[in-house]
Amino acid sequence: MRTLAEVTIKIKTANGAQLPIYMTPGAAGADVRANVSEDLTIAPGKRFAVPTGLFLEIPFGYEVQVRPRSGLSLKHGIMLPNSPGTIDSDYRGELHVIMLNLGDNDFVVKNGDRIAQLVVAKVHRADFAEHEELTETQRGKGGFGSTGV
């Protein structure tokens, strides 16, 4: 399979966890799997931080974004409430995926289920500089919905 790898993410695994995997050559996100010792049921309206058994070492200047899997959202109403979640380069704890059930039925997470996808992104840090005046624009102070539906 062709690879576009520009950066290496070192991963320590626990409890037989599986490494993230790109399911197709053009996939931007690598699927990450649940690492649970027994089935986990998430009732409608409830959320749970699902363990993955993965500990990442992300190079300085990068982040890993945790994003939902579209099939879980469409078929079961499963969302990731802090999406995209950010894993910073200096975090060394276990990756957990916060799953929220917005569906009508209990959702059961089994060991090895694909629960989210990871996207690696370059980080650009900003210099936040206070100014008395800002440049005027056509939109101005128009907020939510101000440019149309």
Dist. CA 6–CA 4, nearest whole Å: 6
What's the rounded Cα separation, in Å, for the pair 42 and 107? 5
When pLDDT is averaged across residues 75-98 and rounded to a whole number, the result is: 97
H or E segment and range at residue 65: strand 62-67
Condensed to tens digits (0 to 9), the pLDDT of residues 9-26 reads: 999 999 999 999 999 999
pLDDT tens digits along 55-79: 999 999 999 999 999 999 999 999 9
Q: What percentage of the chain has pLDDT greater than the value 90? A: 88
Nearest alpha carbon to residue 48 among 21, 20, 80 = 80
Single out the residue of 41, 36, 43, 100 nearest to residue 66, CA to CA: 100
Residue-level pLDDT at 112: 98
CATH topology of domain 10-122: Deoxyuridine 5'-Triphosphate Nucleotidohydrolase; Chain A (2.70.40)
Q: How far apart are CA 80 and CA 36, in angstroms?
A: 18
pLDDT for position 149: 63
pTM: 0.88
C-alpha 129/C-alpha 125 separation (Å) is 13
Report whether pLDDT(147) > 80. Answer: no
